[in-house]
Amino acid sequence: MAQKKIHCDCLDTIKPVRDTLDVINGKWKVPIIISVGVGNDRFTDIQESIPGISPKVLAKELKDLEQHKLLRRIIIDEYPVKISYQLEEYADTLTPLIYALKDWGINHRKKVTEK
């Protein structure tokens, strides 16, 4: 009787997790969503609210997030010209994920420092 190699199948979980990671990947996207979510809507305000982010990186990540329909860029035609960034409604679906990331981070820091 042929022995069949069994390794547990977990693609049902891995595949959607990968889909998510493809969207919110990297150091900056979730922080940007958080920042815009609490009300920072201007380029420079977003930049100042996220320590360490450079304008180059911010501009690139904002474009990515726009393409993924997580936020939109609104041109306000006054003097001086302003741009407002707003979360799309779809970004609200990320709320549970963001809380999970936050909660785990808080707990992890507690664990690491209490030694």
Partner DNA sequence: TATAGTACTTTCCTAAAGGAAAGTGAAGTA
Partner DNA sequence: TACTTCACTTTCCTTTAGGAAAGTACTATA
In angstroms, give the least distance from the CB of 86 to DNA: 12
In the complex with DNA, the residue whose CB is nearer, 71 or 94, is 71
Q: Pick from 56, 60, 88, 89: which is nearest to 74 by CA?
A: 88
CB neighbour list of residue 49: distance below 8 Å, 6 or more residues apart: 35, 40
CA-to-CA distance for 33 and 36, rounded, in angstroms?
5
- Which among DNA, a copy of itself, none contacts residue 66 (Cβ within 5 to 8 A by kind)? none
Which residues in the 1-40 window bind DNA by CB under 7 A?
A: 25-28
Q: Which residues bind DNA (CB under 7 A)?
A: 25-28, 42-45, 52-57, 59, 62, 73, 79-84
